[in-house]
Structure 1
């Protein structure tokens, strides 16, 4: 019995030696398992949030905000949703006599987080281009932040010709080279003007999928099929140093069968991912279409639309709107209706971010400055970044946003448009 008891006690002592390591091992396994499950849950919640959240919950209503499906193409990975304020990269371009309009538009659009390229084409007098360069160089805010760049070697840009597309691509390439941080490219002319502040725009886009493209488009060419797609034109701006209108050559050509043509607005908000695709062209389609549109009437109204709608990975990112308010006469003419004070209510009701086109120093611009932008005395549009006296004479905290009523208007429009896109309505059709 004594021998048995000693054996039993020895066995128990041996088991006790294994208890502590066993407990420790079990705790470690449980910890790792819990961590794994927790990370999976966080990842899942993040994914769900990425797909179904556009705006911060603190401004959401009882109605669930719509969203947009993330594209498969992600050559430039977007930052996590809601983690950072987005950045915009602007091209603001003009021609002869547009210096003052361009300068006013630039000041109304300015924000330290964004990037800007300004361009007065080769038709502009040398004096105007030198004056613009001088203003950009001498502005203390521009000099301090360093985010405004002028294309000093001016391009020849012909209305309705491919040189306008080439100029846009040139600006895109410059912006890609200058900064890796911007998220959307916006092209505007000196005749455009914002209807919301940059704080409104940045705030509205802060929870939007970084791959979304706002680009008006349709495959229903209508009269454009016979008057734009089939005729062949030559743009003298490709080889002459003086501006001359496009001219037609014979014979006409048939519609392409290798891809489907689309048309729409020449003004757009394009994701960085799509801009990289067009500029770098790891698929040959952007280059092929660029050559095709070299002889196309009004190629700026078709090139980008045809590219995006013929690449399956980008089709789902196309939202069918240019975020502009543009009024056309009835019947439509070659150029849109010039906006005035009589159009103010319609502009505001459109909830658009921009409007065109305006005459220089038209009273409606002063009303927009006063009622919508809070801009005074020809200064920058006030925002959370502004510091110093007078207002906006110094750069404070660029990440501080003060969205106003314009953010609510734009939010309403973007929510409706992205819901339509999510449901596959009017996308590349």
Structure 2
């Protein structure tokens, strides 16, 4: 997963300089705000902020997660196969601390350039360590950013998602449904996961939050006619102009709670 993500980031860095953040989403994710809501809020935000839920791995979790060595056949074989656990155990790293958190992130271009180019070799060292680490998407970027002086103050510990976990043991997200709708909205998160294909709650989100029905969510960039049921988004206007709605207000409230007032100190949670 991390190898694929880094490859995608490398392509984006090569193809275009006109982006500020990278967001990873899965096919089971769905937006809770319109594109205009999202862009309006983040266009007024510092481009140096990285949204990545994180906490340091300490205590018994170090022995359980960091010392075992696993081999992922997916790195070498074209066919899918389960990971293999070795009998050997490794010592803990001494040059960096280990962090974990949500696999869903929103990372800045500047930080990702550092991960790809790795001018001080730390990202490459950590990448090699996580090649034999279970659930590396929940640790690689977290460990890099929290061990780098130039970026650890930019880490906001939130993944911008509403997720409902199984209970117990709260290890896997459960599928969201109609009964979760109000909680999704009250979370103020711009995304939620995970959803089953064609679940009725997706239609409710489309209608009540996104204002769309089997078409693009309308925004200020949609300048076409809507007469006779035509799609106004069939004609594209200025995509730097936004028409924010209630979703923007919810997202602004979330960021007001999640972003520290002062960025002069480390935001890393230990």
TM-score normalised by length of structure 1: 0.60
Name the structure 2 match of 1:93. Answer: none
Tell me the secondary structure at the aligned position of residue 395 of structure 1: coil
2:195 matched to 1:358? yes
Say if 1:424 and 1:363 are closer, same or farther in 2 by CA, change over 3 A: farther
Name the structure 2 match of 1:321. Answer: 158
Instruction: Tell me how far apart the structure 2 counterparts of residues 167 and 294 of structure 1 sit (CA, whole Å).
Output: 13
2:130 matched to 1:289? no
Name the structure 1 match of 2:221. Answer: 385
Name the structure 2 match of 1:419. Answer: 260
Q: Deviations over 1:318-374 (max 9, x none)?
A: 001011111112223442111111001111111001111000010111111111111
Tell me the secondary structure at the aligned position of residue 233 of structure 2: coil
Name the structure 1 match of 2:239. Answer: 398
Instruction: Tell me how far apart the structure 2 counterparts of residues 244 and 193 of structure 1 sit (CA, whole Å).
Output: 28
How far 1:428 sits from its partner (Å)? Answer: 3.8
Higher radius of gyration, 1 or 2: 1
Q: Deviations over 1:289-311 (max 9, x none)?
A: 00000000100000000000000
Say if 1:404 and 1:395 are closer, same or farther in 2 by CA, change over 3 A: same
Instruction: Tell me how far apart the structure 1 counterparts of residues 160 and 75 of structure 2 sit (CA, whole Å).
Output: 31
Say if 1:229 and 1:415 are closer, same or farther in 2 by CA, change over 3 A: same
Name the structure 1 match of 2:227. Answer: none
Moved over 6 A (4+): none
Q: Out of 46, 64, 89, which is 1:227 matched to?
A: 64
- Paired residues in the alignment total 265
Q: Out of 14, 18, 24, which is 1:187 matched to?
A: 24
Structure 1: gaps spanning 5 or more residues: 1-163
TM-score normalised by length of structure 2: 0.94
* Structure having the larger proportion of residues in helix: 1
Name the structure 2 match of 1:276. Answer: 113
How far 1:222 sits from its partner (Å)? Answer: 5.4
Instruction: Tell me how far apart the structure 1 counterparts of residues 260 and 180 of structure 2 sit (CA, whole Å).
Output: 28
Q: Deviations over 1:364-412 (max 9, x none)?
A: 11111111111112x1121111132322112111112010000000001
Structure 2: gaps spanning 5 or more residues: 225-229
Query: 1 or 2 for the larger relative contact order (CA 8 Å, sep ≥6)?
Result: 2
Instruction: Tell me how far apart the structure 1 counterparts of residues 191 and 126 of structure 2 sit (CA, whole Å).
Output: 28
Q: Deviations over 1:68-101 (max 9, x none)?
A: xxxxxxxxxxxxxxxxxxxxxxxxxxxxxxxxxx
